[in-house]
Amino acid sequence: MSRKKLAKLRYDYSNTPLEEAQASLDPFQQFESWFGQALNAGFEVPNAMAVATAHRGKPSVRIVLLKDYTREGFVFFTHYTSAKGRALAANPNTEILFYWPEIERQIRITGRTAKISAAQSTEYFHSRPRQSQIGALASDQSRPLENRATLETACAAIERKFAGKPLPRPATWGGYILKPQRFEFWQGRPSRLHDRLIYLKKGSRWIRERLYP
């Protein structure tokens, strides 16, 4: 595609508006409503979210999967020794982003992350498909890998070693919870006059405001 064609790409948003009268005063309830609609719409990966971190002044972002959420926060899993794990250990300030283009919506959630308990991580690890468990044991995530065959050989060795036995959760793999301090709900609108509602945590209360698009 030429640069001129790229510059001319346009999409006019035309979905339902996000009005204060219909939006919840509680950001968790608003998230529950929108996430439920994304689930019911049949999207292939509605729980895919971008996780942004910053380490030594350098930002980094990647897609991971939301695996649980409560009023306490939003949970995802990874290797503690991965690039994101090292970034979170140095700077727990994090932002996650959900984007559902089919319904012209985004949700940004900003807060601080912390590890969930070892028991919670182990419980989730054993709920995963066995091949995913083997992959977690075999992978030294984010580190240089000589070739694909090396990884596949490591997986095969683990499979042989634990044939017919439960797999142990790696001590370097587990869950994080992002505890929100700010939500932003974005709804696409015509002429780029988008709706943006933010929720800011003030003590034990949440304050809702509208932003210019």
C-alpha neighbours within 13 Å on the C-beta side of residue 184: 17
- Determine whether 192 is an active site residue: yes
With residue 197 as reference, give the H or E element that holds it. strand 195-202
Out of 3, 10, 148, 192, pick the active-site residue.
192
Q: Could you give the CA distance from residue 22 to residue 147 in angstroms, rounded to a whole number?
A: 53
Contact, 107 vs 95, CB < 8 A?
no
Q: Could you give the CA distance from residue 20 to residue 34 in angstroms, rounded to a whole number?
A: 14
Please give the backbone phi and psi of residue 159, each rounded to the nearest 5 degrees, phi first: -60, -40
Q: Could you give the CA distance from residue 160 to residue 186 in angstroms, rounded to a whole number?
A: 49
Closest listed residue to residue 78, CA positions, set 69, 67, 70:
67
Contact, 210 vs 112, CB < 8 A?
no
With residue 28 as reference, give the H or E element that holds it. helix 27-40
Catalytic residues: 192
